[in-house]
Structure 1
Amino acid sequence: MNLEVEYNNRARVPGHPAIIGEWMRDAAAFRAAHPPEVLAYGPGPREAMDLFLPREIRGVAMFFHGGYWQALDRSSASHCAAGLLAHGIAVGVPSYDLCPGVPLVRIVDQAEAAARALHARLGRPMLIAGHSAGGQLSAMLLARLPVEIAAAALSISGVFWLEPLVTTSLNVALGLDEAGARALSPALLPSPGRPLHCAVGGAESDEFLRQSREFATLWGGTWEALPGLDHFTVLAPLSRPDHPLTITGTRLARQACGELSVA
């Protein structure tokens, strides 16, 4: 198996610059229409989140952007809060430092600090969500944080076993050895036994499909492949309040804070 082909999503999707450009435009437009509260979770310039608040809070979620832990920031992902916000879910969208400027373990610690800061601000258990690198972060937090903070996870196109990345060009910035990759692999941690849903684009690589399918099974969660969507277009549903993926996220967020029963 050619792991470079399987995991290098920018090479797999030549049109990704245009899609990321659309993210930036849509995110800026969403922030203009829904000015966020900026909530710091640490002293660094990237240790802050945009917090989008509905008129009545019916659940809380945090969404971590992707970029293989080495690209982008929260300004690329604001619009991913749109669907949930329309259903009364407060959504925090953090930035974090990037590799190789910091090691990946530092990013996981920052993600935890961001979740703790959002919990301190709103005082409710939350849904932890994220895309790609953010999918790994959401799963790590579900395993590391108490249920009073992280009650459910929605991981979109996540990487849950990091060892396959070690031999790829993606690892130039990450600097992982096999031991480090294992330590940061959510799939090698004990299942927290909390609600988990994994979504992945149906047009993604076999490895991304496998990781979501096998991780969801391992942790007793659910998973789906969204037909026709690639690693970048898979985010489009989150802007739509009526999309089934948004409905799933809304249900998980409301269950997390007791707005809905689990049954």
Structure 2
Amino acid sequence: MTTPFDAPDWRGLSQQDLDRGLNNGAAVAGSGGMVDGWDRRSAEMRAKHPDHLDLRYGPRERNRIDFFKAAANAPTLLFIHGGYWQMRAKEAFSLFAAGPMAHGINVALIGYTLAPEATLDRIVAEIHAGIDFLAGRLPDLGGDANRIAVSGWSAGGHLTATAMSNPRVKGGVAISGIYDLEPIRHSYLNDKLGLDEAMSRRNSPMMQAQGAMKPLALTVGAAELPLLRRQTADFAGHRAKYGLPVSYEEIPGANHFTIMDQMLAPAGRITMMIRQLFERMAISSS
């Protein structure tokens, strides 16, 4: 695994440059319009699949899961939305279920409490609670509780990595994630997150000297901010160092938002990663 040649060490950046280096919305012209389009198309997807929406897995308002059934007794992908742990909602990402569902993969989308209402410790715990709940409900929903994988974008990529330790999870695909929270702790993003050094380190996959022996595909757009590309490359190298199953891929031309087109399309590269993950899981369990 190689670090992108144009990725600086965040420790040497000024506060202004660090903040700019993590601001995906400012870096991608028209990103607000893209997300508005996601909202519209996601509403259409939810209207097409209304049977299992807002399944409550915990006591907080956002502790809900949407389940979209593609086939009976099929594997299930749990998708975790992004927004730097302090923005967005599962409802805006329903459209991305289309790619995996075209291959007979059920898709569940999980909501979680946002910062500052919840600490990152709490958010990570909610994701694990949601996974446990989903596994318990899958037989009734028509899915196979023994074939659950996780995926997520941006902050959801980080939460995907933290979810790999859940025994119900068999593998993951993390998209444009954050795996070392220390630059986040020193940036404008920490105003709401409230990370101290201890919380940052215990929730940083890059800081862990071990991990689950499960396949994890890591991907990032080649046109993303250098600090984001470095996060993914460094974490891939970290997993390889400890002998954990990992793949690393940069998607040519993709920025932090257009990369999700590769999950929306049935033949998209991320959709193929998800399909290949489940195929690998099937082989290993046979």
**Band the TM-score falls in, shorter-chain normalisation:** over 0.9
Which of 113, 134, 144 is equivalent to 1:118?
Answer: 134
CA contact (8 A) 1:159 1:211 kept: yes
Match of 2:141 in 1: none
CA contact (8 A) 1:60 1:254 kept: no
Match of 1:15 in 2: 30
Q: Deviations over 1:157-199 (max 9, x none)?
A: 0000000111211111101122221111012221212101111
Which amino acid in the other structure matches residue 159 of structure 2?
Answer: L
Identity %, equivalent residues: 36
Which of 194, 197, 205 is equivalent to 2:217?
Answer: 197
1:75 and 2:81 aligned:
no
Match of 1:145 in 2: 166
Aligned CA RMSD, in angstroms, stands at 1.6
Which of 164, 169, 179 is equivalent to 2:188?
Answer: 169
Distance 1:187 1:66 in 2: 19
Which of 234, 258, 264 is equivalent to 1:239?
Answer: 264
Moved more, 111-120 or 54-63: 54-63
Q: Deviations over 1:114-173 (max 9, x none)?
A: 11111112222311100011001010010x312xx1111100000000001112111111
Distance 1:159 1:262 in 2: 30
SS at match of 2:86: coil
Moved more, 54-63 or 154-163: 54-63
Q: Deviations over 1:73-122 (max 9, x none)?
A: 11111011111111111111011110001111111000001111111122
1:27 and 2:42 aligned:
yes
Match of 1:229 in 2: 254
1:262 Cα deviation from its structure 2 partner: 8.1
Instruction: Decide which structure has the larger Cα Rg and report it.
Output: 2
How many residue pairs get aligned? The number is 258
Normalising by the residue count of structure 2, what TM-score does the alignment of the two structures yield?
Answer: 0.86
Which of 63, 66, 81 is equivalent to 1:47?
Answer: 63
Which amino acid in the other structure matches residue 244 of structure 1?
Answer: R
CA contact (8 A) 1:154 1:196 kept: yes
CA contact (8 A) 1:57 1:88 kept: no
Distance 1:82 1:57 in 2: 18
SS at match of 2:146: coil
Which of 163, 166, 183 is equivalent to 2:202?
Answer: 183
CA contact (8 A) 1:160 1:187 kept: yes
CA contact (8 A) 2:71 2:105 kept: no
CA contact (8 A) 1:61 1:253 kept: no
SS at match of 2:108: strand
1:254 Cα deviation from its structure 2 partner: 4.0
SS at match of 1:124: strand
* Runs of 5+ consecutive residues of structure 2 not aligned to the other structure: 1-12, 139-144, 241-245
Which amino acid in the other structure matches residue 124 of structure 1?
Answer: N
CA contact (8 A) 1:57 1:89 kept: no
Which amino acid in the other structure matches residue 265 of structure 2?
Answer: R
Which amino acid in the other structure matches residue 165 of structure 1?
Answer: I
1:127 and 2:143 aligned:
no
Q: Deviations over 1:201-254 (max 9, x none)?
A: 111111111111121222131111111111111111111111122011012134
CA contact (8 A) 2:71 2:106 kept: no
SS at match of 1:125: strand
* Runs of 5+ consecutive residues of structure 1 not aligned to the other structure: none
CA contact (8 A) 1:64 1:93 kept: yes
Match of 1:213 in 2: 233
Normalising by the residue count of structure 1, what TM-score does the alignment of the two structures yield?
Answer: 0.93
